[in-house]
Structure 1
Amino acid sequence: MVSVKEHYEAFPYPERDPEDERHRLITGSPSHPVELDHFVFGGLRDWRTPLRVLVAGGGTGDGLIQIAHYLALAGHPHEITYLDLSEASRRVAEARARVRGLEAIRFHTGSLLEAADHGEFDYIDCCGVLHHLPDPEAGFRALRTALAPGGGMGFMVYAPLGRSGVYPLQEAFGALFADLPPKKRLKAAKAVFDRLPEGHPFKRNPHLTDHRASDAGFYDLLLHGQDRAYDVASLVDVLERTGWALSSFTPPAAYDPGRFAQVPAGMDPVARMALAEKLSGAMRVHIAYAVGGGAPRVADGRDPRLVPHLIGVAPAALARAVAEGRAVPVTTGGGRIELKLPRAAARLLAMVNGTRCLGEIAQAAGLPEARFAALWGRATEGLTGWGLLLYSSFLRSG
């Protein structure tokens, strides 16, 4: 059987060309600074304080480059440690960092189980790694020991329902090609894949595309020798058993079953999220934030010091649509929804620029505190739920 290390030495993942850094920045969730501030630090982190970051299982560097780029661009003090088993993946990540001139990164080859050997960290990024460990629980525990007080983690693990068809193929290819080296395994598996019937559950799953993107994507999806998925309940359970507290899945609204049906009153929050997962059927990953015990610190939109950011939406365009009574479309993994926002909120949304706090927006609008709070809450509940509006002082301090 091919080891995980051997796998990623042969096929660093995701497949990236460092020269692409000259004309594009790959962004996403978790670990955009605004998003991590919102879900880990309540939107009120003091960015003048150095942020110590661990990118655990950093692969070819997507999460690493994103957070390092934005921290450097904003001029916020930071130290980043990259850790990965694969030397081939590390070389790609290092090359990408060189192209961008990112210098505050220490690169190490090794296991995330040794995370605490590298110090304590305010924030840990662990995207697409824990589910590939022989003992994922040991990975969660190891990262918890490396977390500084008051810190948190952004992570991604696989979810089962949106990956229907993956695991039978992994088992079949493992039985057929276990003794082949990685590149020969890939060639043999592709030949078999081309002969699968169109009715195979994998081929009917519209949520899976990695196998079409690159050889590394095909291998990672269908030939991985160590791969498990977590449903909501099992993920929350492992977090609690290893010293973590779930801050939030993201986007939170995807985990609300109320968008599908009327839910019985008093249902346990974890049961509600698990129900949403079953009703959706489309979740192939869970992206979430966790803190080191205690109550979650998610920004709630009520503190006047909070600074709102619109994500992927231009304030002027959003304000115009709201003023005209048009719905705001949101594309989700399971389809499309529309948010209907109160017209009176248009002028408030037009003032969102990533530097004005809520108190300043309220003052500029000339609204009494109670009236502003009510209008702002109605206008932004859906936006925040779908990750289109988050809170952070990232652009305000420094």
Structure 2
Amino acid sequence: MDPVKRQYESYPYPARDPAEEARRLVEGSPSDPIEIDHFLFRGRRDWRKPFRALVAGGGTGDALVMMAQRLADAGCPAEITYLDLSEASRDIASARMEARGLSATYEIRSLLDAPAIAAERGAFDYIDCCGVLHHLPDPSAGFRALSDALAPGGGAGLMVYAPYGREGVYPMQDALRALLGEDEPSAQVALARQALAALPETNGFRRNPFVSDHEVSDAGLYDLLLHSRDRPYSVPELLAELEGAGLAAVSFLEPLRYDPAPHLPATPEFAERLKRLSTAERWALAERLAGNMRMHVVYAVKAGREGQAMATLSAEAVPRWNGPDPRALGRKVQAEGGFAISMAGLRHWVPIPKAAAPFLPALASERSFGEIAKAARMDWFAFASTFGPAFRALAGVNLLHCSKGLPR
């Protein structure tokens, strides 16, 4: 049996209990439909129309369940296909869906079969592929397969591991492979836990605060430290894979984390140097400076469409708020000119002009920006000038998206 298939038959990942569906919906990025709309369809998709989605490497079903539930709540006629090698993972995913009264089509096949499935059922408007491409024998073939399965106007939400935030993981994988590589999965897990408990304080993995899957479950430990195929991607490496597959990045999440400016002195000398860099070079620089990115989440489309996919501030756009009470935030911004937020252990200051504070409560009203401006008795250009910096800042930390037809 393929070692990766053997792993996920023994330890479906992430560890999930279908009984918990009665208590909570696991949420995250990518693949929340509002996020999909914002980053891939300019916030303008008509969700009354059919939506064809593929969850490529669906595991125990987090993306599948979240997307299916959100689309069902919105009344969208969605057709979702789940694709994975592991029957054990599929069984958990399908049980979670059944617990919610949701349905999908399940395929126990390789991710490389995505184009064949698209040929059988129609190309996909959206593809979710999280935590899979970096485990393939030939990741480039995987990127190409996803691209070939996409409809021309569609897009994908991808997650791959990143190198700098996983410091110590790969030396630890090598060490455990040398010690335990011939053992059965259950024996590997038990012995790995003993080895981790004895690590010296100088060990890079022990000193890394950004990885914790091994503390959550045996499945998490196996996936993090005992995986037989696992490679990380830096920003340039990931962008190269996308380009080779005929894809292009629309945005990383969260966008603010891929801005190097907050990690450098706020001086004219550094500002001038940053201006010389392309967008891709700025993304890569931010990754190297921050040092805490253990994964990259990126929305991508067919090359040539990346500049027209993401929502922008417009009179027709409808804001969808994804944060704390916007009234309280408005008061904080009025007093302090911004707010602090922590992402992956790093504190970021999010500056927002005080003049934009009165508009923040309206972000939860489900009115368009044009209607918000009209209620404030402002012409559109004055409103856009006043609120534009706030829009970019809030979207940059994933608190604000645009979608006309989907409720939060």
Q: TM-score range by the shorter chain?
A: over 0.9
Given that 2:74 and 2:407 are in contact with CA atoms closer than 8 Å, whether structure 1 keeps it comes out as no
Unpaired runs of at least 5, structure 1:
none
Alignment correspondent of 1:174? 177
Alignment correspondent of 1:96? 96
Distance 1:384 1:74, change over 3 A: same
Cα-to-partner distance string for 1:18-42 (whole Å, 9 max, x where unaligned): 0000001110100011111111111
- Structure 1 residue 2: Cα displacement: 6.8
Alignment correspondent of 1:343? 354
Equivalent of residue 276 in structure 1, options 279, 286, 295: 286
Alignment correspondent of 2:267? none
CA distance in 2 between counterparts of 1:215 and 1:153 reads: 30
CA distance in 2 between counterparts of 1:260 and 1:82 reads: 40
Q: Are 1:318 and 2:321 counterparts? A: no
Q: Are 1:202 and 2:205 counterparts? A: yes
- Structure 1 residue 323: Cα displacement: 3.4
Given that 1:329 and 1:339 are in contact with CA atoms closer than 8 Å, whether structure 2 keeps it comes out as yes
Distance 1:396 1:5, change over 3 A: closer
Q: Are 1:68 and 2:68 counterparts? A: yes
CA distance in 2 between counterparts of 1:77 and 1:345 reads: 37
RMSD value, Cα: 1.6
For residues 1-398 of structure 1, what are the structure 2 equivalents within 5 Å?
3-103=3-103, 105-119=104-118, 120-261=123-264, 262-263=270-271, 264=273, 265-296=275-306, 297-325=308-336, 327-353=338-364, 355-395=366-406
CA distance in 1 between counterparts of 2:17 and 2:148 reads: 34
- Structure 1 residue 379: Cα displacement: 2.0
Counterpart of 1:235, as a letter, is L
Counterpart of 1:154, as a letter, is G
CA distance in 2 between counterparts of 1:141 and 1:287 reads: 18
Cα-to-partner distance string for 1:154-197 (whole Å, 9 max, x where unaligned): 01000000000011111111122221111111112222222111
Given that 2:48 and 2:75 are in contact with CA atoms closer than 8 Å, whether structure 1 keeps it comes out as no
341-350 vs 195-204, which moves further: 341-350
CA distance in 1 between counterparts of 2:377 and 2:406 reads: 24
Given that 2:42 and 2:312 are in contact with CA atoms closer than 8 Å, whether structure 1 keeps it comes out as no
CA distance in 1 between counterparts of 2:257 and 2:47 reads: 30
**TM-score (ref. length: structure 1):** 0.96
- Structure 1 residue 48: Cα displacement: 1.4
- Paired residues in the alignment total 396
CA distance in 2 between counterparts of 1:149 and 1:44 reads: 17
- Structure 1 residue 341: Cα displacement: 2.2
Distance 1:322 1:278, change over 3 A: same
Q: 3-state SS of the aligned residue for 1:70?
A: helix
Q: 3-state SS of the aligned residue for 1:351?
A: helix
- Structure 1 residue 326: Cα displacement: 5.9
CA distance in 1 between counterparts of 2:65 and 2:246 reads: 28
- Structure 1 residue 353: Cα displacement: 2.4
CA distance in 2 between counterparts of 1:289 and 1:73 reads: 23
Q: 3-state SS of the aligned residue for 1:345?
A: helix
CA distance in 2 between counterparts of 1:97 and 1:396 reads: 21
Counterpart of 1:308, as a letter, is P
Q: 3-state SS of the aligned residue for 2:364?
A: coil
CA distance in 1 between counterparts of 2:151 and 2:311 reads: 23
- Structure 1 residue 108: Cα displacement: 1.3
- Structure 1 residue 321: Cα displacement: 2.4
Given that 1:81 and 1:107 are in contact with CA atoms closer than 8 Å, whether structure 2 keeps it comes out as yes
313-322 vs 107-116, which moves further: 313-322
- Structure 1 residue 14: Cα displacement: 0.1
- Structure 1 residue 332: Cα displacement: 1.6
Counterpart of 1:114, as a letter, is D
- Structure 1 residue 396: Cα displacement: 6.7
Given that 1:299 and 1:391 are in contact with CA atoms closer than 8 Å, whether structure 2 keeps it comes out as no
Given that 1:2 and 1:182 are in contact with CA atoms closer than 8 Å, whether structure 2 keeps it comes out as no
CA distance in 2 between counterparts of 1:63 and 1:305 reads: 29
Counting aligned pairs with the same residue, the percent is 50
Given that 1:33 and 1:394 are in contact with CA atoms closer than 8 Å, whether structure 2 keeps it comes out as no
Unpaired runs of at least 5, structure 2:
265-269
Given that 1:253 and 1:385 are in contact with CA atoms closer than 8 Å, whether structure 2 keeps it comes out as yes
Given that 1:156 and 1:286 are in contact with CA atoms closer than 8 Å, whether structure 2 keeps it comes out as yes
CA distance in 1 between counterparts of 2:117 and 2:376 reads: 49
